[in-house]
Amino acid sequence: MINLHIIENALLTLSFGYSTIRHVTKCVRYHNRIEPQAYTPVVSGNVSLSRAPSGDCYVTIQQIADTGEFEDVEVYVPVDGSSEPYVCKRAIYARCGL
């Protein structure tokens, strides 16, 4: 079971917006209801959440970067509080065409 409070605080600490946190809340609630296998993602909107066998979580957010390009931001959230959450990957995956 994933602790929603830990995930929300991690994303607030890293300055993600309300809509992202709302989608993460939906992911956590659904994940806790169905208990999928390790690393099986649960998706809501632009957010994907998966859980490692250790219980730590990975949250992937698709957003528009400061450069105007689409990017994936992967956040590692340790559930035992042993370390701070951090962005472990940030990658551009598409360019916006105008």
Spell out the alpha helix ranges (H) of the chain: 4-13, 18-34
Across the chain, what does the average pLDDT equal? 91
The model carries a pTM of 0.88
Q: Which domain holds residue 74?
A: 4-94
Q: Rg of the chain over CA atoms, in angstroms?
A: 13
Judge whether residue 18 has pLDDT over 90.
yes
Judge whether residue 98 has pLDDT over 60.
no
pLDDT the model gives residue 68:
84
C-alpha angle with apex 87: 86 to 88, nearest 5 degrees? 105
Domains in the chain: how many in total? 1
- Alpha carbon 73 to its chain's center: 8
